[in-house]
């Protein structure tokens, strides 16, 4: 083995440290202790956060080598564009997205289990499915809500810019979380009515969010499980970052329930990243690993979506790319 390959593989097998370090720094709130342009000494940061100064320095030095924070000398650190996103008060703060993985980080140990069985590694490590676990850990669920809003904020704007909802009269957002997406669509299309369908432990937070946006009169919230039923009455059914959470059999079950209630002239919208083909790098390939282990889900190619939809009685009619990672996958009932 040549030295270059040896060093590159060494870097890769130590790569878990980078993810873990970001999650730890986010949980500790280190970024909140540094104001841009005002470098802070590690000793001050350690005192403010109850950490070991030398260990904290080594972590920040490591992160700085990946453009997360910048060492200014004398063990002082300032922000970079990436580290500033980890501040709690940053617009669209990414801190919740990093924090949500902190208490469940051992789920990555389930990768081997997923490789052998095709099952969720999270289930193996924690003894229950991820979303069931969230339902019994309300504090983590609230961080998860904020994490999804932060992760998807650019997706929403990109979707609204790329896709025309003017032909939609009644939109059902299935598995719509706390309502950030349906709120954005309703605000841009004042004549549109909406419905948000979610589990009971999420629905209450969705009602509060819609009321705060002044949309509770235009959007109802229905509680339920999409594996059991999906409410009727809408002409368009939207699933954002839902189908990628589940394996093919589960996804077909969800889509079959949608097929039972969607009108023949209705439309189905799946908002997901479409897995690129070829050997090139892609954030979607990283997300595919997360989906496989965390929930047992899959990031799919265009052809895989086509086959999945056909199994549930839909025909893929178009894929509208956006300026973000996601595309709008539109399908019609067969």
Q: Is residue 100, in this structure, part of any structural domain at all?
A: no
Q: Is residue 95, in this structure, part of any structural domain at all?
A: no
Output the 3-class SS for the chain: CCHHHHHHHHHHHCCHHHHHHHHHHHHHCHHHHCECCECEEHHHHHHHHCCCHHHHHHHHHHHHCCCCCEEEECCEEECCHHHHCCCCCCCCCCHHHHHCCCCCHHHHHHHHHHHHHCCCHHHHHHCCCHHHHHHCCHHHHHHHHHHHHHHHHHHHHHHHHHCCCCCCCEEEEECCCCCHHHHHHHHHCCCCEEEEEECHHHHHHHHHHHHHCCCCCCEEEEECCCCCCCCCCCCEEEEECCHHHCCHHHHHHHHHHHHHHCCCCCEEEEEEECCCCCCCCCHHHHHHHHHHHHCCCCCCCHHHHHHHHHHCCEEEEEEEECCCCEEEEEEEEC
195-237 confidence digits (pLDDT tens): 999 998 888 889 999 999 999 899 999 999 999 999 999 999 9
Q: Is residue 98, in this structure, part of any structural domain at all?
A: no
Q: Is residue 104, in this structure, part of any structural domain at all?
A: no
* Whole-number pLDDT of residue 221: 93
**171, 196 Cβ separation under 8 angstroms:** no
281-297 confidence digits (pLDDT tens): 999 999 999 999 999 99
pLDDT exceeds 80 at position 18: yes
Do 138 and 278 have their domain in common? yes
Q: How many domains does the chain have?
A: 2
Please give the residue range of the domain that contains residue 225: 110-333
Angle at 267 between CA 261 and CA 271, to 5 degrees: 110
Exposed / middle / buried, residue 111 (Cβ in 10 Å: 0-12, 13-18, 19+): middle
| 291, two tokens | 């989906």
| Other residues' Cβ atoms within 10 Å of the Cβ of residue 130 | 20
Q: Is residue 93, in this structure, part of any structural domain at all?
A: no
Do 65 and 126 have their domain in common? no
Domain-ending residue, one of 88, 120, 140 = 88
107-155 confidence digits (pLDDT tens): 999 999 999 999 999 999 999 999 999 989 999 999 998 898 777 778 9
* Whole-number pLDDT of residue 150: 79
Do 231 and 265 have their domain in common? yes
For range 2-19, the mean pLDDT: 93
For range 305-322, the mean pLDDT: 98
Q: Is residue 322, in this structure, part of any structural domain at all?
A: yes
For range 5-20, the mean pLDDT: 93
Active-site residue list: 244
CATH number where 245 lies:
3.40.50.150
Do 116 and 245 have their domain in common? yes
Whether the model clears a pTM of 0.85, i.e. scores above it, the answer is: yes
Do 126 and 71 have their domain in common? no
Domain-ending residue, one of 23, 58, 88 = 88
Q: Is residue 143, in this structure, part of any structural domain at all?
A: yes
């Amino acid at each position: 083995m040549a030295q270059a390959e040896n060093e590159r593989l060494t870097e890769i097998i130590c790569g878990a440290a980078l993810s873990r370090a970001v999650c730890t720094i986010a949980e500790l709130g280190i970024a909140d202790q540094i104001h841009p342009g005002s470098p802070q000494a590690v000793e001050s940061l350690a005192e403010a956060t109850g950490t070991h100064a030398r260990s904290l320095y080594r972590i920040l030095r490591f992160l700085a080598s990946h453009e997360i924070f910048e060492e200014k000398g004398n063990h002082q650190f300032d922000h970079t564009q990436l580290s500033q996103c980890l501040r709690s008060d940053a617009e669209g703060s990414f801190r919740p997205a990093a924090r949500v993985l902190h208490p469940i980080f051992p789920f990555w140990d389930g990768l081997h289990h997923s490789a052998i069985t095709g099952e969720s590694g999270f289930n193996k490590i924690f003894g229950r499915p991820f979303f069931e676990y969230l339902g019994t850990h309300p504090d983590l669920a609230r961080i998860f809500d904020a994490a999804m809003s932060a992760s998807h904020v650019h997706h929403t704007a990109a979707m609204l810019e790329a896709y025309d909802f003017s032909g939609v009269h009644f939109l059902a957002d299935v598995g719509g979380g706390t309502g950030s997406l349906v709120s954005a669509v309703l605000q841009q299309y004042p004549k549109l009515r909406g419905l948000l369908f979610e589990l009971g432990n999420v629905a209450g937070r969705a009602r509060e969010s819609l009321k705060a946006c002044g949309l509770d009169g235009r959007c109802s919230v229905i509680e339920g499980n999409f594996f059991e039923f999906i409410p009727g009455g809408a002409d368009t059914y939207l699933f954002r970052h839902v189908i990628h959470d589940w394996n093919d059999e589960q996804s077909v079950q969800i889509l079959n329930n949608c097929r039972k209630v969607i009108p023949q002239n209705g439309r189905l919208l799946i908002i997901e990243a479409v897995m690129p083909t070829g050997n090139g790098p892609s954030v979607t390939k990283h997300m595919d690993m997360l989906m496989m282990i965390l929930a047992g889900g899959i990031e799919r190619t265009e052809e895989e979506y086509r086959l999945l939809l056909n199994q549930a009685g839909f025909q893929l009619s178009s894929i509208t790319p956006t300026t973000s990672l996601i595309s709008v996958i539109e399908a019609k009932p067969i």
